[in-house]
Amino acid sequence: MENDKRVETARKIAEKHANSGRMVMFENVGKFIRWFSTIIDKIFYSPRYAPVFALLIALLAYFVTNYDSSSATITSSKVLSNVSINTRYNSGTFELSGVPQACEIVLTGEAGNVTNAASKKGYCQVDLEGYTEGTHTVKLTAQGYGDSVSAIISPSEVTVTLKKKTTMQFDLSYDYINQNSMDSRYILSEPDFSSSGKINIRASQDTLNSIAMVKALIDVSGATEDFTISAPLVAYDKNGRVVDAELVPSSVEATVHVSSPSKEVPIRLNPVGTIPVGLAIDSITIVNHQTATIYGSEAVLSGISEIYANYDLSTVTEGVDKEIMLPVTLPAGVSSSTVTVVNVKVTLAIVENRELADIPLNVHDNFNNLAVSEIDATTATVIVSGSNTNINAISETDVEVYFTMPEEPGTYTVPLYVTCDSNPYISLSTNPVNVTITVIASNQ
């Protein structure tokens, strides 16, 4: 009995100590919670740490939401510039305007899918099937990139105009292209066309009204003989800009005749300018070429009997027997010549003068059939200047002195003119320089 009391007393003492230990533990846990709560409050409400803590919470929420335990994917985007735009419409009936030449596409999706789609030959499309004449706003769609990526198009829509086509007939003209690759000796004829010379153009009335000409572009690269070629046709406005229209036919067969007319003509020297005072040309001789073969159209060649090398007298300096090189001047319409420069030997001399007395006066340009009733001189002295050899080769019969008849009766002082065709290396003057005349009607 006594033992039972001891056991009961020991049990009560043990329970008392256990309850005391639990109380201490609960007190310690409470202290830790209050301490941790204080730290959290400081972080949440501190201006310094609150943004950092908010960012960490946002990142955690993102990864929890987007993380796929089976596979992690990477999203990518790629911008495609200058993507071509295809159109679908009834081109046989309508003319389309307002479609830009290109657009921009942004592809988005998994990185591998985006790379694969960007390598494809995709395009933007404007679908106008079933649309009628007028102005329409149409969305663009991306084609050819597959369904594994999304596509954003810029511009996303376009405003276009459909105009009904009509047909008008135009005269056909032509242009030779690449003529600079031809030898200049060859001449091209007017082309002969396989068509009637009339071209049908199908377009809207506004476009047809803007067309000023239709030309066949005939390529004559390296042409040396007759040829036939299929020449593309192009319509132009009045400013020479290409007009986009449907030409029927789009090309025409042209036959071109190629020829090389030529003519052999002498080369002459043509003194120009004024020789320095005190000097005279005794002779100028072409050393290497006396004639040349020139090329051009037959109409041009028929009017040419000689060609010239111009010699500028103002460049003459003292010295004798000088040899110089002069370019040959080709007349207008002459395409080429076998001789382009000549070597010329120039002999100079001291200028001398000689007088030819009593040269009678002649009258030129008497268009109104007037008569001279009075004149203060009927002859003149001609002063010939040049080298000794040249002035002594001139006789009285080689020169002519004249004046020009006034147009109405009256008294006039008129200048005298003198000419000499036998030698270009002399200069001529007269004494007197002028004469006074009285002019009357020829029936008086």
Query: Distance between CA 406 and CA 437 in Å, rounded?
Result: 10
Among the listed residues 442, 436, 435, the one whose alpha carbon sits nearest the alpha carbon of residue 359: 435
Query: Which are the contacts of 259, defined by CB distance < 8 A and separation ≥ 6?
Result: 186, 187, 189
Residues of the chain with confidence (pLDDT) below 70: 1-30, 32-73, 317-321, 444
Residue type for position 293: T
**SS3 state of residue 427:** strand
Query: Distance between CA 267 and CA 342 in Å, rounded?
Result: 9
Among the listed residues 133, 52, 57, 125, the one whose alpha carbon sits nearest the alpha carbon of residue 90: 133
Q: Which residue has the tokens 């003209």?
A: 173
The pTM for the full model equals 0.53
Here the tokens at position 392 are 């002594």
Backbone angles phi, psi at 266, to 5 degrees: -75, 155
Strand pairing of 341-350 and 322-329? antiparallel
Q: Which residue has the tokens 């049990």?
A: 11
Query: Distance between CA 423 and CA 318 in Å, rounded?
Result: 21
Query: Distance between CA 325 and CA 289 in Å, rounded?
Result: 12
Query: Distance between CA 201 and CA 248 in Å, rounded?
Result: 6
pLDDT tens-place string over residues 238-248: 999 999 999 98
Instruction: Count Cβ atoms below 10 Å from residue 378 Cβ, excluding itself.
Output: 10
Residue 268: per-residue pLDDT:
92
| DSSP secondary structure, 148-161, as one string | SSEEEEESSEEEEE
> Furthest-apart CA pair in the chain: how many Å?
197
The residues that bridge with 412 in the sheet, in sequence order, are: 437
The residues that bridge with 354 in the sheet, in sequence order, are: 384
Residue type for position 361: L
pLDDT tens-place string over residues 229-238: 999 999 999 9
| 98, 62 contact by CB (below 8 A) | no
DSSP H helical ranges for 134-225: 205-210
Strand pairing of 166-177 and 417-420? unpaired
Q: Which residue has the tokens 């019969």?
A: 397
* Per-residue H/E/C for 92-104: CCEEEECCCCEEE
Q: How many helices (H) and strands (E) does the chain have?
A: 6, 32
